[in-house]
Structure 1
Amino acid sequence: MNAPLRFLAASALLLASLTTAQAQTPAAGKPAAEFTGAVADKAEYKVVYQLDSDDPKLIKQTLRNMKNALEDPRLKGKLQMELVAYGGGTDVFRQAQPYEADIKALQQQGVLLAQCLNTMKERKISKDELFPFISYVPTGNGELIIRQAQGWAIVHP
Protein backbone atom coordinates (compact mmCIF):
# COMPACT_ATOMS: atom_id res chain seq x y z
CA MET A 1 0.00 0.00 0.00
CA ASN A 2 1.45 3.37 -0.94
CA ALA A 3 1.98 6.14 1.61
CA PRO A 4 -1.11 8.24 0.75
CA LEU A 5 -3.38 5.19 1.05
CA ARG A 6 -1.78 4.19 4.37
CA PHE A 7 -2.34 7.73 5.64
CA LEU A 8 -6.01 7.64 4.59
CA ALA A 9 -6.53 4.22 6.19
CA ALA A 10 -4.85 5.32 9.43
CA SER A 11 -6.89 8.54 9.46
CA ALA A 12 -10.13 6.59 8.98
CA LEU A 13 -9.24 4.26 11.86
CA LEU A 14 -8.37 7.19 14.10
CA LEU A 15 -11.62 8.98 13.25
CA ALA A 16 -13.65 5.81 13.88
CA SER A 17 -12.03 5.26 17.28
CA LEU A 18 -12.60 8.89 18.29
CA THR A 19 -16.26 8.71 17.24
CA THR A 20 -16.74 5.48 19.23
CA ALA A 21 -15.03 6.91 22.30
CA GLN A 22 -17.08 10.09 22.09
CA ALA A 23 -20.35 8.12 21.75
CA GLN A 24 -19.56 6.19 24.94
CA THR A 25 -18.59 9.26 26.97
CA PRO A 26 -21.40 11.35 28.48
CA ALA A 27 -21.52 15.01 27.56
CA ALA A 28 -19.86 17.35 30.02
CA GLY A 29 -22.06 17.90 33.07
CA LYS A 30 -24.55 15.17 32.12
CA PRO A 31 -24.69 11.80 33.90
CA ALA A 32 -24.33 8.63 31.87
CA ALA A 33 -27.66 6.89 31.19
CA GLU A 34 -28.03 3.86 33.42
CA PHE A 35 -28.93 0.62 31.67
CA THR A 36 -31.88 -1.01 33.44
CA GLY A 37 -32.53 -3.91 31.08
CA ALA A 38 -34.73 -4.51 28.10
CA VAL A 39 -38.07 -2.75 27.89
CA ALA A 40 -41.06 -5.11 27.86
CA ASP A 41 -43.05 -3.22 25.24
CA LYS A 42 -45.19 -6.14 24.04
CA ALA A 43 -48.60 -7.00 25.46
CA GLU A 44 -47.68 -10.67 25.92
CA TYR A 45 -44.63 -12.89 26.22
CA LYS A 46 -44.58 -16.68 25.95
CA VAL A 47 -41.88 -18.97 27.27
CA VAL A 48 -41.45 -22.69 27.67
CA TYR A 49 -38.86 -24.08 30.06
CA GLN A 50 -37.53 -27.50 29.15
CA LEU A 51 -36.34 -29.86 31.85
CA ASP A 52 -34.59 -33.07 30.85
CA SER A 53 -32.28 -33.65 33.81
CA ASP A 54 -32.88 -35.40 37.13
CA ASP A 55 -30.10 -33.38 38.81
CA PRO A 56 -31.78 -31.88 41.91
CA LYS A 57 -29.66 -28.72 41.62
CA LEU A 58 -30.78 -28.17 38.02
CA ILE A 59 -34.42 -28.89 38.86
CA LYS A 60 -34.35 -26.38 41.72
CA GLN A 61 -32.56 -23.84 39.52
CA THR A 62 -35.18 -24.24 36.78
CA LEU A 63 -38.06 -23.77 39.22
CA ARG A 64 -36.33 -20.74 40.74
CA ASN A 65 -35.70 -19.23 37.29
CA MET A 66 -39.36 -19.66 36.43
CA LYS A 67 -40.44 -18.02 39.68
CA ASN A 68 -38.03 -15.15 39.08
CA ALA A 69 -39.39 -14.56 35.58
CA LEU A 70 -42.95 -14.50 36.92
CA GLU A 71 -41.89 -11.91 39.51
CA ASP A 72 -40.02 -9.66 37.05
CA PRO A 73 -41.92 -6.35 37.23
CA ARG A 74 -41.50 -5.83 33.49
CA LEU A 75 -43.30 -9.10 32.76
CA LYS A 76 -46.03 -9.01 35.44
CA GLY A 77 -49.36 -9.83 33.85
CA LYS A 78 -47.76 -10.31 30.41
CA LEU A 79 -46.19 -13.76 30.72
CA GLN A 80 -47.53 -17.11 29.57
CA MET A 81 -45.30 -19.96 30.76
CA GLU A 82 -45.03 -23.72 30.37
CA LEU A 83 -42.73 -26.32 31.93
CA VAL A 84 -42.09 -29.36 29.73
CA ALA A 85 -40.45 -32.31 31.47
CA TYR A 86 -39.02 -35.33 29.68
CA GLY A 87 -36.19 -37.78 30.18
CA GLY A 88 -34.69 -37.35 33.64
CA GLY A 89 -36.68 -34.14 34.11
CA THR A 90 -39.72 -36.30 34.83
CA ASP A 91 -38.48 -36.37 38.43
CA VAL A 92 -39.89 -32.87 38.94
CA PHE A 93 -43.41 -34.37 38.68
CA ARG A 94 -42.80 -37.55 40.70
CA GLN A 95 -44.74 -37.80 43.94
CA ALA A 96 -41.66 -39.32 45.60
CA GLN A 97 -39.67 -36.10 45.03
CA PRO A 98 -39.77 -32.87 47.09
CA TYR A 99 -41.00 -30.47 44.38
CA GLU A 100 -44.78 -30.53 44.87
CA ALA A 101 -45.09 -27.18 46.68
CA ASP A 102 -42.93 -25.40 44.10
CA ILE A 103 -44.76 -26.74 41.06
CA LYS A 104 -48.18 -26.18 42.63
CA ALA A 105 -47.19 -22.55 43.30
CA LEU A 106 -46.19 -22.18 39.65
CA GLN A 107 -49.43 -23.77 38.49
CA GLN A 108 -51.44 -21.38 40.67
CA GLN A 109 -49.75 -18.55 38.77
CA GLY A 110 -50.98 -19.99 35.47
CA VAL A 111 -47.95 -22.07 34.47
CA LEU A 112 -48.77 -25.07 32.29
CA LEU A 113 -47.11 -28.25 33.57
CA ALA A 114 -46.53 -30.78 30.80
CA GLN A 115 -45.05 -34.26 31.01
CA CYS A 116 -43.80 -36.21 27.98
CA LEU A 117 -45.78 -39.44 27.48
CA ASN A 118 -42.99 -40.88 25.33
CA THR A 119 -40.60 -40.74 28.30
CA MET A 120 -43.18 -42.44 30.50
CA LYS A 121 -43.61 -45.26 27.97
CA GLU A 122 -39.85 -45.72 27.47
CA ARG A 123 -39.12 -45.70 31.22
CA LYS A 124 -42.26 -47.63 32.19
CA ILE A 125 -43.51 -44.83 34.47
CA SER A 126 -47.14 -44.94 35.52
CA LYS A 127 -49.27 -41.79 35.79
CA ASP A 128 -49.94 -42.93 39.37
CA GLU A 129 -46.29 -42.14 40.19
CA LEU A 130 -46.74 -38.50 39.14
CA PHE A 131 -48.77 -35.69 40.64
CA PRO A 132 -52.41 -35.83 39.55
CA PHE A 133 -52.55 -32.15 38.60
CA ILE A 134 -50.06 -32.22 35.69
CA SER A 135 -50.87 -32.43 31.98
CA TYR A 136 -49.42 -34.69 29.32
CA VAL A 137 -48.04 -34.17 25.81
CA PRO A 138 -47.19 -36.92 23.30
CA THR A 139 -43.50 -35.93 23.18
CA GLY A 140 -41.49 -33.26 24.94
CA ASN A 141 -39.49 -32.48 21.81
CA GLY A 142 -42.66 -32.18 19.76
CA GLU A 143 -44.05 -29.72 22.30
CA LEU A 144 -40.88 -27.63 22.09
CA ILE A 145 -40.92 -27.65 18.28
CA ILE A 146 -44.56 -26.57 18.14
CA ARG A 147 -44.16 -23.89 20.80
CA GLN A 148 -41.07 -22.45 19.10
CA ALA A 149 -42.91 -22.33 15.77
CA GLN A 150 -45.73 -20.48 17.59
CA GLY A 151 -43.22 -17.84 18.71
CA TRP A 152 -42.54 -19.05 22.25
CA ALA A 153 -39.09 -18.48 23.71
CA ILE A 154 -37.40 -21.68 24.87
CA VAL A 155 -35.29 -21.71 28.01
CA HIS A 156 -33.08 -24.66 28.87
CA PRO A 157 -31.34 -23.88 32.15
Structure 2
Amino acid sequence: MKKIASLLFAIAMLFSIGASAQDKAVNPSEFHGAVADKKFYKVVYQLNSDDDKIIKATMKNMMNALEDPRLKGKLQAELVVHGGGVAVFKKTNPYEIQLKALQAKGVILAECENTLRERNISKDELFDFISFVPSGNGEIIIRQQQGWAIVHP
Protein backbone atom coordinates (compact mmCIF):
# COMPACT_ATOMS: atom_id res chain seq x y z
CA MET A 1 0.00 0.00 0.00
CA LYS A 2 2.88 2.37 0.82
CA LYS A 3 4.38 1.69 -2.62
CA ILE A 4 1.11 2.60 -4.36
CA ALA A 5 0.76 5.78 -2.28
CA SER A 6 4.37 6.74 -3.04
CA LEU A 7 3.83 6.07 -6.75
CA LEU A 8 0.63 8.13 -6.83
CA PHE A 9 2.38 10.98 -4.99
CA ALA A 10 5.26 10.91 -7.51
CA ILE A 11 2.83 10.97 -10.44
CA ALA A 12 0.92 13.88 -8.91
CA MET A 13 4.18 15.80 -8.44
CA LEU A 14 5.16 15.24 -12.07
CA PHE A 15 1.79 16.53 -13.28
CA SER A 16 2.05 19.53 -11.00
CA ILE A 17 5.56 20.36 -12.25
CA GLY A 18 4.41 19.98 -15.87
CA ALA A 19 1.39 22.20 -15.26
CA SER A 20 3.44 24.95 -13.63
CA ALA A 21 5.94 24.90 -16.50
CA GLN A 22 3.08 25.35 -18.96
CA ASP A 23 1.64 28.25 -16.95
CA LYS A 24 4.59 30.49 -17.83
CA ALA A 25 3.70 32.67 -20.78
CA VAL A 26 6.34 33.21 -23.45
CA ASN A 27 7.07 36.85 -24.03
CA PRO A 28 6.89 37.31 -27.83
CA SER A 29 9.50 40.06 -27.75
CA GLU A 30 11.99 37.63 -26.19
CA PHE A 31 11.43 34.76 -28.64
CA HIS A 32 13.27 34.90 -31.97
CA GLY A 33 12.99 31.30 -33.18
CA ALA A 34 15.34 28.38 -32.99
CA VAL A 35 19.07 28.99 -32.98
CA ALA A 36 20.93 27.38 -35.90
CA ASP A 37 23.89 26.17 -33.86
CA LYS A 38 25.04 23.48 -36.29
CA LYS A 39 27.54 24.09 -39.06
CA PHE A 40 25.36 22.44 -41.69
CA TYR A 41 21.74 21.39 -42.32
CA LYS A 42 20.22 19.08 -44.94
CA VAL A 43 16.62 18.99 -46.15
CA VAL A 44 14.57 17.12 -48.74
CA TYR A 45 11.40 18.71 -50.06
CA GLN A 46 8.97 16.14 -51.42
CA LEU A 47 6.68 17.12 -54.30
CA ASN A 48 4.12 14.63 -55.55
CA SER A 49 1.31 16.92 -56.70
CA ASP A 50 0.63 18.61 -60.02
CA ASP A 51 -1.44 21.33 -58.31
CA ASP A 52 0.03 24.67 -59.41
CA LYS A 53 -0.52 26.19 -55.95
CA ILE A 54 1.34 23.35 -54.24
CA ILE A 55 4.19 23.45 -56.78
CA LYS A 56 4.62 27.21 -56.35
CA ALA A 57 4.31 26.98 -52.56
CA THR A 58 6.95 24.23 -52.44
CA MET A 59 9.44 26.26 -54.46
CA LYS A 60 8.68 29.39 -52.40
CA ASN A 61 9.17 27.44 -49.16
CA MET A 62 12.52 26.18 -50.42
CA MET A 63 13.68 29.66 -51.40
CA ASN A 64 12.55 31.02 -48.02
CA ALA A 65 14.56 28.34 -46.20
CA LEU A 66 17.64 29.06 -48.34
CA GLU A 67 17.31 32.79 -47.57
CA ASP A 68 16.61 32.38 -43.83
CA PRO A 69 19.47 34.32 -42.19
CA ARG A 70 19.96 31.50 -39.68
CA LEU A 71 20.42 28.91 -42.45
CA LYS A 72 21.99 30.98 -45.21
CA GLY A 73 25.14 29.24 -46.41
CA LYS A 74 24.47 26.27 -44.11
CA LEU A 75 21.68 24.47 -45.98
CA GLN A 76 21.92 21.68 -48.53
CA ALA A 77 18.54 21.04 -50.17
CA GLU A 78 17.07 18.53 -52.56
CA LEU A 79 13.72 18.61 -54.34
CA VAL A 80 12.51 15.04 -54.83
CA VAL A 81 9.71 14.85 -57.38
CA HIS A 82 7.49 11.83 -57.99
CA GLY A 83 3.92 11.06 -58.99
CA GLY A 84 1.99 14.11 -60.16
CA GLY A 85 4.88 16.35 -59.14
CA VAL A 86 6.59 15.49 -62.43
CA ALA A 87 4.62 18.44 -63.83
CA VAL A 88 7.16 20.83 -62.30
CA PHE A 89 9.92 19.41 -64.53
CA LYS A 90 7.97 19.28 -67.81
CA LYS A 91 9.23 21.66 -70.48
CA THR A 92 5.63 22.55 -71.34
CA ASN A 93 5.04 24.06 -67.87
CA PRO A 94 6.15 27.50 -66.66
CA TYR A 95 8.53 26.61 -63.81
CA GLU A 96 11.93 26.77 -65.50
CA ILE A 97 12.97 30.15 -64.07
CA GLN A 98 12.12 29.20 -60.47
CA LEU A 99 13.82 25.82 -60.81
CA LYS A 100 17.00 27.36 -62.23
CA ALA A 101 17.01 29.89 -59.38
CA LEU A 102 16.84 27.04 -56.86
CA GLN A 103 19.53 25.10 -58.69
CA ALA A 104 21.76 28.20 -58.75
CA LYS A 105 21.57 28.14 -54.94
CA GLY A 106 22.80 24.53 -54.92
CA VAL A 107 19.47 22.68 -54.77
CA ILE A 108 19.50 19.16 -56.20
CA LEU A 109 16.52 18.67 -58.53
CA ALA A 110 15.69 14.94 -58.63
CA GLU A 111 12.98 13.16 -60.62
CA CYS A 112 11.78 9.64 -59.86
CA GLU A 113 12.42 7.25 -62.76
CA ASN A 114 9.57 4.98 -61.58
CA THR A 115 7.15 7.84 -62.24
CA LEU A 116 8.49 8.27 -65.76
CA ARG A 117 8.04 4.56 -66.52
CA GLU A 118 4.59 4.34 -64.92
CA ARG A 119 3.33 7.44 -66.75
CA ASN A 120 5.15 6.72 -70.01
CA ILE A 121 7.03 10.03 -69.89
CA SER A 122 10.28 10.43 -71.83
CA LYS A 123 13.22 12.25 -70.26
CA ASP A 124 13.17 14.40 -73.40
CA GLU A 125 9.89 15.92 -72.16
CA LEU A 126 11.66 17.24 -69.06
CA PHE A 127 14.13 20.07 -68.53
CA ASP A 128 17.65 18.94 -69.35
CA PHE A 129 19.14 20.36 -66.15
CA ILE A 130 17.46 17.95 -63.71
CA SER A 131 18.81 14.73 -62.18
CA PHE A 132 17.16 11.34 -61.77
CA VAL A 133 16.81 8.82 -58.96
CA PRO A 134 15.53 5.24 -59.31
CA SER A 135 12.64 5.89 -56.93
CA GLY A 136 11.45 9.05 -55.21
CA ASN A 137 10.37 7.16 -52.11
CA GLY A 138 13.68 5.34 -52.00
CA GLU A 139 15.52 8.67 -52.16
CA ILE A 140 13.46 10.04 -49.29
CA ILE A 141 14.00 6.92 -47.17
CA ILE A 142 17.76 6.97 -47.72
CA ARG A 143 18.05 10.71 -47.08
CA GLN A 144 16.00 10.46 -43.90
CA GLN A 145 18.27 7.70 -42.58
CA GLN A 146 21.24 9.93 -43.45
CA GLY A 147 19.81 12.62 -41.16
CA TRP A 148 18.11 14.88 -43.70
CA ALA A 149 14.94 16.70 -42.62
CA ILE A 150 11.93 15.82 -44.77
CA VAL A 151 9.43 18.54 -45.72
CA HIS A 152 6.23 17.80 -47.61
CA PRO A 153 4.33 21.06 -48.12
Q: Same fold (TM over 0.5)?
A: yes
Match for residue 91 of structure 1?
87
Q: Which ranges in structure 2 are unaligned for 5 or more consecutive residues?
A: none
Match for residue 135 of structure 1?
131
Relative to structure 1, the CA distance from residue 35 to residue 54 in structure 2 (aligned partners, 3 Å threshold; closer, same or farther) is: same
1:60 aligns with 2:56: yes
Percent of aligned pairs sharing the same letter? 65
Q: Hey, what's the Cα distance between the residues in 2 that align with 1:20 and 1:151?
A: 34
Report the alpha carbon displacement of residue 24 of structure 1 after superposing the two structures with TM: 2.2
1:82 aligns with 2:106: no
Paired residues for 1:25-36 under 5 Å: 34-36=30-32
Match for residue 108 of structure 1?
104
Q: Hey, what's the Cα distance between the residues in 2 that align with 1:93 and 1:25?
A: 46
- TM-score, normalised on structure 2? 0.84
Relative to structure 1, the CA distance from residue 23 to residue 64 in structure 2 (aligned partners, 3 Å threshold; closer, same or farther) is: same
Corresponding residue SS for 2:87: helix
Divergent runs of 4+, >3 A: none
Rg larger for:
1
1:119 aligns with 2:115: yes
Asked if the contact 1:82/1:111 (under 8 Å) is kept, the reply is yes
Q: Hey, what's the Cα distance between the residues in 1 that align with 2:106 and 2:31?
A: 30
1:62-117 CA distance string (max 9 Å, x none): 00000000000000110000000000000010000010000000000000000000
Report the alpha carbon displacement of residue 32 of structure 1 after superposing the two structures with TM: 7.7
Q: Hey, what's the Cα distance between the residues in 1 that align with 2:25 and 2:120?
A: 62
1:102-144 CA distance string (max 9 Å, x none): 0000000000000000000010000110000000000000000
May I ask how many residue pairs the two structures share in their alignment? 141
AA partner of residue 129 (structure 1):
E
Match for residue 38 of structure 1?
34
Match for residue 20 of structure 1?
20
Q: Hey, what's the Cα distance between the residues in 2 that align with 1:132 and 1:32?
A: 47
The Cα RMSD (Å) is 2.4
